[in-house]
A and B are shown apart, each in its own frame.
Chain A
Amino acid sequence: MALQPLHEIHTRRFGRNLGVALTLGFFILIVFALTVVKVTQGDPMQAFDHSVRIEMTAPAAGADQ
């Protein structure tokens, strides 16, 4: 019996698979767009990584900003 590359279930579920693919593609676009906006707006992007970062520490009372 010849190998059938396109199983019947592929044609039957084409609409469903296409829907999932488009949804996931759209989700990737949203995350990418959000990332671009967050980075370009200058939101704080650094987090604690086990070493002291002077720019992340709160300024001392009375110190000039």
Chain B
Amino acid sequence: MTEIHAFEQPKEAGFGDYVQLLKPRVMSLVVFTALVGLLVAPVSVHPVVAFSAILFIALGAGASGALNMWWDADIDAVMRRTKGRPVPAGKVQPGEALGLGMALSGIAVVMLGLASNLLAAGLLAFTIFFYAVVYSMWLKRLTPQNIVIGGAAGAFPPMIGWAVATGSVSIESVLMFALIFMWTPPHFWALALFMKDDYSNAGVPMLTVTHGRKSTRAHVLVYTILLAPVAIGAAFTSIGGPIYLTAAVLLNAWFLIGAWRIWRRDEVMAEADKYAVEKAVFRFSLYYLFLHFGAFLAEAALRPYGYGGW
């Protein structure tokens, strides 16, 4: 008698699955903010150098995404939102994600160094290290402040873009960093309030679970209050101007009102209107960041015509 064994073939990974490892949606934000950092700098960069630099910054960000997916495959497999990612879905082996992440990290850092300068390359290397090791491996599963710390990794790209052009770090690039850094916690916690994701099952401490939803609402308000002076303060540097100042005042007033409304509500009120305020503030926070960096860009674009800047 012949026995036939059926083995389940591992699902074949397509090129797109490897692209998914690089978190293309996160990459688009990195490209935009790094491009703004590069374009608003007072030093002009050859278009080919600028294009290559942005490409390698994006590649570095993608590499850290692949390393994150390698390390967090156990968490991703548990959570509804992430269980379709290539590693938990079984399409890409964890070792492949690690190899791709390491190789692309090296290529991105070396190529950025050759295309621009060592400071920019060093900042990119530190960003990858910070996201993959400090955030993913160390603090994400340790503290509910993980979002605050992880936000730093997302805040580096405009600083790297600025360093590509100028070869230095200055108050302008630090303020662009601080803007994203301070924006990340209220943006993410507004999402955490209505996306009741299964972080607790995955063993990731989220503020909504460890400190409760009332405390999370207070955190959203406090971080939004701390964010406003950073955002408005940038208007008075060399990259700011009347357009940016107007945009920053309006956007921060709007964000503060939203955070205040989130803080005033409790779960009963939120359940009653299906988290309408939290969802609105989250959506607005996306425009908030995009419009701030858009305003920086507008100031820089109008400067040659005598309009941008002070």
**Interface of A with B (CB < 8 Å)?**
12-13, 15-16, 18-20, 30, 33-34, 36-37, 41
Contacts and interface: CB of A to CB of B under 8 A. Distances in A.
B55 interface: yes
Contacts of A19: 15, 18
Instruction: Determine chain A's interface SS by DSSP, over half rule.
Output: helix
B177 to A, nearest CB: 27
Interface residues of B, number: 12
Contact of A37 (B13, B14, B49, B55): B49
A18 B13 CA distance: 14
Contacts of A20: 15
Given A33-B52, A41-B46, 9 more contacts: A15-B15, A16-B13, A16-B14, A16-B15, A16-B18, A30-B55, A34-B48, A36-B48, A37-B46
22 contacts: A12-B12, A13-B12, A15-B14, A15-B15, A16-B13, A16-B14, A16-B15, A16-B18, A19-B15, A19-B18, A20-B15, A30-B52, A30-B55, A33-B48, A34-B49, A34-B52, A34-B114, A34-B115, A36-B48, A37-B46, A37-B49, A41-B46
Interface string B102-118: 00000000000011000
Contacts of B52: 30, 33-34
Interface string B11-26: 0111100100000000
Nearest to A41: B46
Contacts of A15: 14-15
Contacts of B13: 16
A10 to B, nearest CB: 13
Contacts of B55: 30
A32 to B, nearest CB: 10
Contacts of B115: 34
A18 B12 CA distance: 15
Nearest to A18: B15
Nearest 7 pairs of A and B residues by beta carbon = A19-B15, A37-B48, A16-B15, A33-B48, A37-B46, A15-B14, A34-B52
A50 to B, nearest CB: 23
A16 B15 CA distance: 5
